[in-house]
């Protein structure tokens, strides 16, 4: 059932183009309108929403962090994202004009379930973004949008993450549509671009051999750092989480702008630093800031592994390794930028002799608080 792959994780990474395409299927019509009729929250209720709160754990939380950028930018509705295990216990401010989005692959994560129960008790509406039909989280929510990743067997989440992102982008666009948010050119371009994402993920997967080679060459390292800005920041956190859970290595993700506020002290000669570079097109100020961050860490001896768009030549002088990803609108970049980090962690962990499907101390669904 591993379909010729040594590990479920490898199979699930390879299935991502299909998982992404399936999650989009039938949800955007030919005119670019979102058709999420399955999400049974009436438009008048949506129009009253004054705040969105996303709750999730682990990888699903990283999807939520990315969703926040998209929701606020496209809809101008305030959005918070919080670890489900923290949210529940700090007396959050919620009422019937709050929409809570609970993101969960398994639909059984106890922390997320307790957070959504608490939200509903306070009168908030809850929308589940979930991969498992009929699981507890969607059953206890007001509405659900299913991701269609198919069963995810490996403990580390890969294809579920990409489909959570797709589902969150769809929710953001649909929410904007229901509220009559001005549909700028950028959003029209994004809707069009989503249709090409599956092919772009495929393209990334086809060029991963140098990443695997690099991962094997780093298998004896103690630490790997990850840097990102904007939506690249949660991607960096996700890259670090994958490496921790699979390779049992010290790995940390940072917002690149925070470097100078402390973490740069960790950079010493030879430390591999993976940098997720924003597109030089669009909001190019982000890109330029990131290039100076790469310069700064390189000057301190870091070995820079730079994930950058095709055609981005500005990074080349400061990169020990460049990993190319296709050009993608800024907010959608995580869909392509995460893939090399998954491959990197999987290969590095395998080189260290670890079972990537069953990492030590971890369970696929965490049904205790
Ligand atoms: C990481 C991972 C976990 C889960 C987290 C939430 O690879 O798999 O961090 O993402 O336990 O699980 P779900 O999405 O099932 O609620």
Complex-level ipTM? 0.98
Closest CA to 82 of 96, 68, 97: 68
DSSP-assigned letters across all residues of 95-141: -TTEEEEEEESSS--HHHHHHHHHHHHTT-EEEEEESSTT-HHHHTS
Do 338 and 328 meet the contact criterion of CB atoms below 8 Å apart?
Answer: no
Q: pLDDT digit of tens for each residue in the chain (369 aa)?
A: 888 999 999 999 999 999 999 999 999 998 888 999 889 888 889 999 999 999 999 999 999 999 999 999 999 999 999 999 999 899 999 999 999 999 999 999 999 999 999 999 999 999 999 999 999 999 999 999 999 999 999 989 999 999 999 999 999 999 988 888 776 777 888 999 999 999 999 999 999 999 999 999 999 999 999 999 999 999 999 999 999 999 999 999 999 999 999 888 889 999 999 999 999 987 789 999 999 999 999 999 999 999 999 999 999 999 999 999 999 999 999 999 999 999 999 999 999 999 998 888 888 888 888
Minimal-distance CA residue to ligand 1 atom 11: 58
3-state class of 341 per DSSP?
helix
Which of 7, 54, 58, 61 is the pocket-test mutation for ligand 1 (most atoms within 8 Å of CB)?
A: 58
CA of residue 274 to ligand 1 center, whole Å: 22
Nearest CA to ligand 1 atom 16: 104
Ligand 1, atom 5: closest residue by C-alpha = 58
State how far the Cα of 163 lies from the Cα of 158, in Å rounded to an integer: 9
Ligand 1 atom nearest to CA at 59: 10
Q: Please spell the DSSP secondary structure of 189-235, one letter per residue.
A: HHHHHHHHHHHHHHHHHTT-HHHHHHHHHTTT-SEEEEEE-TTHHHH
* Residue nearest atom 3 in ligand 1 by C-alpha distance: 58
Residues 6+ apart with CB under 8 A from 288: 314
Q: How far apart are the CA of 75 and the centre of ligand 1, in A?
A: 27
Determine the Cα–Cα distance for residues 34 and 37; give it in Å rounded to an integer: 9
> How many angstroms does the Cα of residue 49 sit away from the middle of ligand 1?
28
As a whole number of Å, the CA-based R_g of the chain is: 20
CA of 179: how far to CAs of 97, 173, 275, in Å?
14, 10, 36
Given this model, what pLDDT does residue 37 score? 84
Q: Determine the distance separating the centroid of ligand 1 and the alpha carbon of 240, expressed in angstroms.
A: 14
Q: Rounded to the nearest whole angstrom, what is the distance from the C-alpha of residue 235 to the centroid of ligand 1?
A: 15
Query: Which residue from 13, 54, 59, 107 has its CB within 8 A of the most atoms of ligand 1, so it is best to mutate?
Result: 59
CA 164 to chain centre: 8
Atom 7 of ligand 1, residue of closest alpha carbon: 156
| Cα 105 to middle of ligand 1, angstroms | 7
Residue 364 a catalytic site member: yes
Cβ contact 215:347 at 8 Å: yes
Please, are residues 241 and 59 in contact by the beta-carbon 8 Å criterion? yes
d(CA 209, CA 221): 20
Output the pLDDT for position 246: 96
Bin 71: left if φ > 0, else alpha if -120 < ψ < 50, else beta.
alpha
Global pTM value: 0.97
Which of ligand 1's atoms lies nearest the C-alpha of 155?
8
Burial class of residue 279, CB neighbours in 10 A (0-12, 13-18, 19+): buried
Pocket test for ligand 1, best of 157, 240, 241 (most atoms within 8 A of CB): 157
pLDDT of residue 183: 67
DSSP string, 275-331: EEPPPSSSSHHHHHHHHHHHHHHHHTT-EEEEEEETT--TTGGG-SEEEEE----GG
Q: Distance between alpha carbon 172 and the CA centroid of its chain, in Å?
A: 15
DSSP conformational letter for 25: T
Ligand 1-lining residues (CB < 6 angstroms)? 57-60, 104-106, 109, 112, 156-157, 241, 245, 365-366
Question: What is the chain's percent helix, strand, coil content, to nearest 5?
Answer: 50, 15, 35
């Amino acid at each position: 059932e591993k379909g010729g792959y040594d590990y479920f994780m490898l199979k699930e990474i390879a299935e991502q183009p299909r998982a992404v395409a399936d999650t989009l299927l039938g949800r955007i019509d030919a005119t670019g309108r979102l058709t999420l009729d399955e999400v049974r929250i009436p438009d008048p209720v949506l129009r009253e929403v004054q705040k969105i709160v996303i709750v999730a754990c682990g990888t699903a939380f990283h999807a939520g962090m990315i969703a926040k950028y998209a929701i606020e930018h496209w809809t101008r509705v305030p959005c918070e994202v919080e670890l489900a295990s923290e949210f529940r216990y700090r007396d959050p401010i919620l009422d019937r004009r709050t929409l809570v989005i609970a993101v969960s692959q398994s639909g059984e994560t106890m922390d997320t379930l307790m957070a959504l129960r608490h939200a509903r008790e306070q009168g908030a509406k809850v929308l589940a973004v979930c991969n498992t039909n009929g699981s507890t989280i969607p059953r206890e929510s007001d509405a659900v949008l299913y991701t269609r990743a198919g069963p995810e067997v490996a403990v580390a989440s890969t294809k579920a993450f990409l489909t959570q992102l797709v589902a969150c982008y769809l929710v953001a666009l649909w929410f904007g549509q229901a509220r009559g948010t001005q549909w700028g050119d950028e959003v029209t371009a994004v809707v069009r671009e989503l249709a090409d994402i599956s092919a772009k993920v495929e393209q990334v997967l086809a060029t991963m051999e140098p990443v695997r080679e690099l991962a094997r060459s780093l298998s004896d390292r103690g630490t790997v750092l990850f840097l990102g800005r904007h939506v690249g920041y949660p991607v960096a956190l996700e890259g670090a989480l994958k490496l921790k859970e699979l390779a049992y290595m010290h790995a940390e993700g940072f917002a690149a702008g925070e470097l100078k506020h402390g973490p740069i002290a960790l950079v010493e000669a030879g430390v591999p630093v993976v940098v997720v570079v924003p597109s030089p097109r669009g909001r190019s100020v982000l890109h330029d800031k990131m290039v100076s961050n790469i310069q700064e860490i390189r000057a301190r001896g870091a070995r820079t592994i730079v994930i950058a768009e095709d055609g981005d030549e500005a990074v080349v002088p400061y990169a020990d390794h460049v990993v190319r990803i296709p050009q993608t609108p800024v907010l959608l970049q995580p869909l392509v930028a995460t893939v090399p980090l998954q491959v990197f962690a999987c290969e590095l962990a395998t080189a260290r002799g670890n079972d990537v499907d069953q990492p030590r101390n971890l369970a696929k669904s965490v049904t205790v608080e």
